[in-house]
Structure 1
Amino acid sequence: MTRCRLCGSAALVSVVDLGATPPCESFLAADQLDEPEPAYPLHLRVCTDCWLAQIPPLITPEETFTQYAYFSSYSTSWVEHARTFVADAVQRVGLGPDAFVVEVASNDGYLLKHVVDRGIRCLGIEPSVNVGAAARDAGVPTLTAFLDPATGSDVRAEHGPADLVVANNVYAHIPDVVGFTRGLRALVADDGWVSIEVQHLLTLIEENQYDTIYHEHFQYYTVASATRALAAGGLALVDVELLPTHGGSIRLWARPAEAAGEPSRGVADVLAREKAAGLQELSGYTEFSARVAKVRRDLLRFLIEVAERGETVVGYGAPGKGNTLLNHCGIRPDLLPYTVDRNPYKHGRFTPGTRIPILPPEQIAADRPDYVLVLPWNLRAELVEQLSFVHDWGGRLVFPIPELSIVEVAS
């Protein structure tokens, strides 16, 4: 990768190099364990001209998202987050019975089902065949497609312009950020709104959340770099919200440039925070790699010491971020014999690269391990409650990010 995908600059500087790993959602079936498994460099760089952090586009969205292992509805807290968003957006945007809402990367209908329940016309645009089918089964109209300017124009021609376009946790997933943004502009009405949620690079660096760097995430945004990306597609940022989701996200409210007006004070406040953190100069990035290395050392030391004491530790969850962590740390079944996940699609499969078996959640209660390593640490409050039963035998929870912590759970 020699040039920034947003501004075309060659001024790219290394932030952290995580080696080479397989794509994080390429879970293996048992009959694939003796087959070769491709791995790709995972090296985050930042452009010192526009300050977009990015990795090389070594895999295509078609390779990852045509058949996808992630179903949003399996996270209770995420479904509730979507319900709250829809309720707030109806008020903010003024969505009435004649409104039209489009969600891009709509997954299994976890968000639009709340729109359907309100009797508002909507459409999901979801590239993954399997999760899109689940959405349609749930009564959410869904088009199987990737968004680009042509798709946006076709949807607008057939269904009319959208009063609200939602793009949650997809803006990082597309290598052609300018083309995708132009697709959003094609969808939205000239006086409409676009809402985008994406992880905030500020919290990624401050909270050491390096496991959210993976091949599906081609870029990592500050409000400053997101403003520039939106402008490249004809949209203007008008407001921003700071969210706790995914360890710290931003919700960007944008409108077509000709209808946007002046940005809110909130935009200026977050830009000032980013500048104070050094994210518009190299000083904000220089210590990150050393802190990442410490996470690896601390987690390996803990797992080795547990094994040498004859105690047991198993995993909870098989998220994409967990596979970045497991591969970077070199954790194999000798240190983590299995992990569990609520998603039955993953049962009987194995984590990419590290080949750790994925079992149903009931296995934890059956085996009563001494420790449970929680891989989706961003759902900490939800999972501490879900896993409170490990207290019954004196088990404890382990969270690896932002630093290793061992938690006693209440019954």
Structure 2
Amino acid sequence: MTRCRLCGSTALESVVDLGATPPCESFLAAEQLDAPEPTYPLHLRVCTDCWLAQLPPLITPEETFSEYAYFSSYSSSWVEHARVFVADAAARLGLGADSFVVEVASNDGYLLRHVVDRGVRCLGVEPSVNVGAAAREAGVPTLTAFLSPETGAAVRAEHGPADLVVANNVYAHIPDVIGFTKGLRALVADDGWVSIEVQHLLTLIEENQYDTIYHEHFQYYTVASAIRALASGGLALVDVELLPTHGGSLRLWARPEEAAGEPSRRVADVLAREKAAGLQELSGYTEFSARVAKVRRDLLRFLVDAAEEGKTVVGYGAPGKGNTLLNHCGIRPDLLPYTVDRNPYKHGRYTPGTRIPILPPDRIAADRPDYVLVLPWNLRAELAEQLAYVHEWGGRLVFPIPELSIVEVER
């Protein structure tokens, strides 16, 4: 990487180098285990001119998202998060039968199904063929496409401008951040709203959430860098919410520049927090790499000690972030013989790079392991409830992030 993708600067400084890993969602079928597996450098840098943290675009969105392994509806807490958002947005913006809502990267319809239930006209724009098909089967109108300025203009010409455009957990996933932002502007009405949810770089740094760094996340936002990114497409930030999702996320409320007005007090408050954390100078980033190394050492020490003591450890979940962790730590089936996942799409497949089998969840109750390593740690409350049954045989849960935590579960 030689230039910042947002401002074009060459002033890029290293934040953390995680080596080379396969794309995190490239789960392997059994017949692929003896074939070569490509890996790509995973080196996060920050631009010291606009403070956008970013990875080089070594893979394309087409490689990742044309066929995608992640279905949002398998997380019940995420579906509930979407339901609450739709209810709140409908009240805040006065959405009704005459309104039009577009969600970009709408996945399997996890959010727009709540819009459909309200009788509000909507459209999903989803590039992945398989999950888009699932959305249509669930009754959510869905266009299979990547968002670009041209796609946004075409949707607007056919369906009219959107009163609300939603872009949850996608603003980090596109290398052409300027073109994508222009696409959002093309979709939204001149007096409309854009709501974007994206992980907050502040909590990523503070809570050692380095496993959320992977190739399909091309950039990592603060409010300061998000303001610059939005402006590149003619949008202005007017409000921000701090959310607990994904370990700490931003909900950015933006409008076309001509309709934006003054930003809320919350915007100034979060900007002040980011500045106090040193995220607009290199000092805020210099210790992160050392703390990442400690997470790796602690997890490996636990797994090796458990193996030496004859204890069994299995995984729960096969999220993309888990594959960053497994590959960075060099964890193989000798230390983690399998992981389980609720998504049937992943059953019988293997984690990229580390080749750990992915099995149905009922395997845990059958095997009664001593420890369950929870890879989607951001769903801690939800999964602690789902896994309460491991208490029956004295099993314990292990959370690797933000630091190693071994907990007993209660029924």
TM-score interval (norm. to shorter) = over 0.9
Shift of 1:94: 1.1
Are residues 1:328 and 2:336 paired?
no
Could you list the per-position Cα deviations for residues 338-380 of structure 1 after superposition, in whole angstroms to 9, with x for gaps in the alignment? 0000000000000000000000000000000000000000000
Q: Distance in 2 between matches of 1:93 and 1:59?
A: 38
Partner of 1:157: 157
Shift of 1:97: 1.0
Are residues 1:181 and 2:181 paired?
yes
What amino acid does structure 2 have at the position aligned with 1:209?
Q
Q: Runs of 5+ in structure 1 lacking a partner?
A: none
Shift of 1:395: 0.1
Could you list the per-position Cα deviations for residues 29-85 of structure 1 after superposition, in whole angstroms to 9, with x for gaps in the alignment? 000000000000000000000000000000000000000000000000000000000
Are residues 1:122 and 2:122 paired?
yes
Q: Distance in 2 between matches of 1:196 and 1:296?
A: 32
What amino acid does structure 2 have at the position aligned with 1:93?
L
What amino acid does structure 2 have at the position aligned with 1:31?
E
Could you list the per-position Cα deviations for residues 207-265 of structure 1 after superposition, in whole angstroms to 9, with x for gaps in the alignment? 00000000000000000000000000000000000000000000000000000000000
Partner of 1:231: 231
Partner of 2:287: 287
What TM-score, normalized by structure 2, do the two folds share?
1.00
What TM-score, normalized by structure 1, do the two folds share?
1.00
Partner of 2:199: 199
Partner of 2:243: 243
What amino acid does structure 2 have at the position aligned with 1:250?
L
Partner of 1:9: 9
Shift of 1:131: 0.1
Are residues 1:113 and 2:116 paired?
no
Are residues 1:309 and 2:316 paired?
no
What amino acid does structure 1 have at the position aligned with 2:300?
L
Partner of 1:272: 272
Partner of 1:342: 342
**SS of 1:18 mapped into structure 2:** strand
Q: Distance in 2 between matches of 1:206 and 1:293?
A: 14
Q: Distance in 1 between matches of 2:354 and 2:204?
A: 24
Partner of 2:409: 409
**SS of 1:166 mapped into structure 2:** strand
Q: Distance in 2 between matches of 1:236 and 1:403?
A: 37
Q: Distance in 2 between matches of 1:383 and 1:205?
A: 24
Could you list the per-position Cα deviations for residues 127-147 of structure 1 after superposition, in whole angstroms to 9, with x for gaps in the alignment? 000000000000000000000
Partner of 1:354: 354
Partner of 1:300: 300
Q: Distance in 1 between matches of 2:365 and 2:384?
A: 15
What amino acid does structure 2 have at the position aligned with 1:385?
E
Matches within 5 A, 1:48-63: 48-63=48-63
Shift of 1:96: 1.6
The aligned length equals: 411
**SS of 1:185 mapped into structure 2:** helix
Across the aligned residues of Structure 1 and Structure 2, the Cα RMSD in angstroms comes to: 0.2
Question: 4+ residue runs of structure 1 moved beyond 2 angstroms?
Answer: none
What amino acid does structure 1 have at the position aligned with 2:281?
E
**SS of 1:62 mapped into structure 2:** helix
Partner of 1:214: 214
What amino acid does structure 2 have at the position aligned with 1:17?
D
